[in-house]
Structure 1
Amino acid sequence: MPVHNVHERLLTATPEQVGALIDSLATGPADRLWPHRTWTPMAFDGPVVHGASGGHGPVRYTVAAHVPGTWVRFAFTAPRGFHGFHEYAALPVDAEHTVLRHTLSMRITGLARLSWPLGYRWMHDALLEDSLDLAERACHGRLPHPARWSAYVRLLYRLFPEEGTTPDPEPAQAPASR
């Protein structure tokens, strides 16, 4: 069964600024794109370069390609039944605007035909919107409309907590004035 899932945000930022966010992935506390306070951090066995292995939580992948400051693609190695990739790309619109796009494209087989639509999809969508919120805050200095988790995502998060994260069902990066 094919899955094609895209999340994107138009940012008032240069392609270089957005590319720097992509390049900060998996750099620990310096990571400005991955919502590592609320979700399991993205980590690799070395720098994010072609061939590096890592992932987040039970989702494992290798770096299939990386164009610094522009694009990175990760090829899935786990969970079983995920066959494909996910990627971040900085897509220039004009001198002052860039689209940050995350694309997941895969074929699911076996038990993943159940685990994707029942669990992974919902958690994936919430994580990606939190990631784009971080990018918007990094580029704009504010976040007027933070993403909100659905009741189902909050339930899944409580049932399957993210290891080493803040157990808060609301995104930790959201402003206090929500």
Structure 2
Amino acid sequence: MAVLNVHERALPVPPERVGALLDTLGSGEDRLWPTEWPPVRFDGPLAVGATGGHGPVRYTVTHHVPGRWVRFRFTGRGGFYGFHEFAVEDVGADRAVLRNTMVLRPRGVRWLGWLLFFRPMHNAAFAQCLDRAELALTGAVARPVRWGWYVRLLRRLSACAVPRWYTTPYSGS
């Protein structure tokens, strides 16, 4: 059984502007990824073959169309198989949709990890990522995401268990 998880935001700007923002992901000029989460880092520029991740999540860039689409295949410890991607969709009249799609096949006890830890954290981080995109492109966020008590608890527990997730850039290991 697979998980399909989609987050998207319609933005009142041309797709080229959204694509330029997407292309900053993981760079020193990253304007997309929220600073409250472990940073996205790669072993080089955002391009096919680059490896990296955020926090404990590791992946490799398998597809990249600059300004339009990037797909990452999960490569971390066993149990999570699949990908996540960002896509910019042109919806006309100087409007675009920024979408993050994840297809994941947790194996064994990783299902429990997905349900109890990774799903709420993923949902909070990617909702906040879309807030950051909206803020960067329009100067305001109409409905900012709010973390629930469970996400706040998980973040506290994660920071206590592995504080380097929040401070150490990707080192290639």
Report the TM-score, using the length of structure 2 for normalisation.
0.91
What displacement does 1:80 show?
2.1
Whether contact under 8 Å (1:44, 1:55) holds in the other structure is: yes
Q: Using the alignment, how far apart are the partners of 1:22 and 1:108 within structure 2? A: 27
Q: Using the alignment, how far apart are the partners of 2:151 and 2:19 within structure 1? A: 29
Paired amino acid for 2:50: A
Q: Which residue of 2 aligns with 1:106?
A: 104
What is the CA RMSD across the aligned residues, in angstroms? 1.2
Deviating above 3 A after TM superposition, structure 1's stretches of 4 or more consecutive aligned residues are none
Which residue of 157, 162, 166 maps to 1:163? 166
Q: Which residue of 2 aligns with 1:118?
A: 116
What displacement does 1:11 show?
0.2
What stretches of structure 2 of length at least 5 have no aligned partner?
160-164, 169-173
Q: Which residue of 1 aligns with 2:43?
A: 45
Matched residue count: 163
Q: Which residue of 1 aligns with 2:150?
A: 152
- Residue 91, structure 1, aligned to residue 89, structure 2: yes
What displacement does 1:164 show?
1.7
Q: Which moved more, 1:8-17 or 1:72-81?
A: 72-81
| Cα deviation code 1:41-99 (max 9, x no counterpart) | 00011111111110011100000100001000000001421111000000010031100
| Cα deviation code 1:79-125 (max 9, x no counterpart) | 42111100000001003110000000121102211110010000000
Paired amino acid for 2:135: R
How many percent identity over aligned positions? Answer: 55
Report the TM-score, using the length of structure 1 for normalisation.
0.88
| Cα deviation code 1:14-37 (max 9, x no counterpart) | 110000111000012x101111x2
